[in-house]
Structure 1
Amino acid sequence: MFTLQTHKTNKVILEPLSHKHLNGLYKAGQHPIVWQWVLINYTKSHDILKEWFLTQAQFNKNEQIVFAIIDKDTQQVVGTTRLFKLDKFNLSAEIGHTFISNDWQRTYINTHAKYLLLKYAFDELNLVRITFNTHEKNQKSRNAIIRLGAHFEGLAYKDRKLSDGSYRNTAKFSIVDEQWPDVKSQLEERL
């Protein structure tokens, strides 16, 4: 169902993640604030990043596509995001596992990247539901998801075990196909 292809706006390029992006991804992940709410910092070292790329980023290409996020003007890799948990029967997927370099947060990068993923999901894959999940306490991420036009659905308690052994409560959001035309229009105005 997935076609590995590049998606572009006038400011952002999403390319299926490959070995050529790893050095840029390593540089993008060096500020510790990037990893405050992410389950694992896979840019701690080049070796960890390569292991993550081979075992996590390449996991089951029928269920996910991992993208490098590239700033079009500078050609700099500024992070990564993915479309995953594809459910071909229910026509749904999740967008997430996103990290954006600290220098590029609160810029146009996230809006453009998520617009491209949503457009691909709804307009090309004909999905009917996209889910977004984040840590209950990650207000920055929650605000960004709401700005995209997603609707808060509630909390999933003790949803994921964190590296320190504690559990995270997950804030769940969604966009469904009936909402997509309005969300798309609003995002295109912001692009």
Structure 2
Amino acid sequence: MPATSPRPVTLTGRHVRVEPLTPAHLDDLFAAGGNDDDVWRWLGTPTPRTPQELASKLDALLADASYVPFAVVHLETGGAVGWTTYMDVDAANERLEIGSTWYGRAHWRTAVNTETKLLLLAHAFEDLGMGRVQLKTDHLNERSQQAIARLGARREGVLRRHRRRPDGSWRDTVYFSLLADEWPEAKKRLAARL
């Protein structure tokens, strides 16, 4: 039986709530990561310098039916601190990608990413019936590669000259994946880290 395609859903942990992204999140998101080159450096899109520029990115994401976008809300403050998506969904082949993720710099190396990924991975494997979840990043983004590896995902390889960066240079993309039979052990490690 094939997996189920994801729909907007709210997932709540101890530190974050992952909820459907809406324009109402814009002010929090801009405060968290707008006009910060380090936040946007590896996302393949120019840094939003104004709330209007971030609104354009948010609107484009919401208009693209190939994404299921989520705001990541920090429960302690109640504010959105980043966004993430399910993308490249292929329910017939039981796979999807978690990507287009960013968090404000104040939330790097905190429980935010670990718990967000724990919630999204659990939903993908346990509720939607996915057999594979993929994640990918720029080969120069070592911080992201380390974070993905800490999730328990395996590095699969590199697509060379995969995508043009905003500065015109070419990005090689590192692919990682986690399979359904690897998920129980990865889930235990992630839960322990929290």
TM bucket (normalised to shorter chain) is over 0.9
User: Residues 129-151 of structure 1, C-alpha deviation per residue, up to 9 Å, x if partnerless?
Assistant: 01110010111000000000000
TM-score by length of 1: 0.94
Aligned counterpart, 1:127 = 130
> What residue in structure 2 maps to residue 98 of structure 1?
101
* Residue in 2 that maps onto 1:20: 24
What secondary structure sits across from 1:89 in the alignment? Answer: helix
Q: Structure 1 residues 87-96 or 26-35, which shifts more?
A: 26-35
Between the aligned partners of 2:47 and 2:120, the Cα distance in structure 1 is 22
**Moved segments of 4+, more than 6 Å:** none
1:50 aligns with 2:64: no
Superposition map of 1:46-125 within 5 A: 46-60=51-65, 63-125=66-128
- What is the deviation of 1:10? 0.9
Rounded Cα–Cα distance in structure 1 between residues aligned with 2:22 and 2:98: 19
The alignment of Structure 1 onto Structure 2 pairs a total of residues equal to 189
2:15: which partner in 1? 11
1:29 match: 33
* Cα pair 1:25 1:43 within 8 Å, conserved: no
Deviation at 1:42, TM superposition (A): 5.5
Gaps of 5+ in 1: none
Aligned residue in 1 for 2:187: 184
* Paired residue type of 2:75: K
**In structure 2, distance between residues paired with 1:59 and 1:107:** 30
Identity of aligned residues (%): 33
Displacement, 1:66?
0.7
Which amino acid is the alignment partner of residue 33 of structure 1?
D
Distance 2:193 2:11 in 1: 18
The question of 1:163 aligning with 2:166 is answered yes
State the 1:56 CA deviation.
Answer: 2.3
Tell me the SS of whatever aligns to 1:21.
helix
- Paired with 1:117 and 1:43, the residues of 2 have a C-alpha distance of 26
RMSD: 1.3
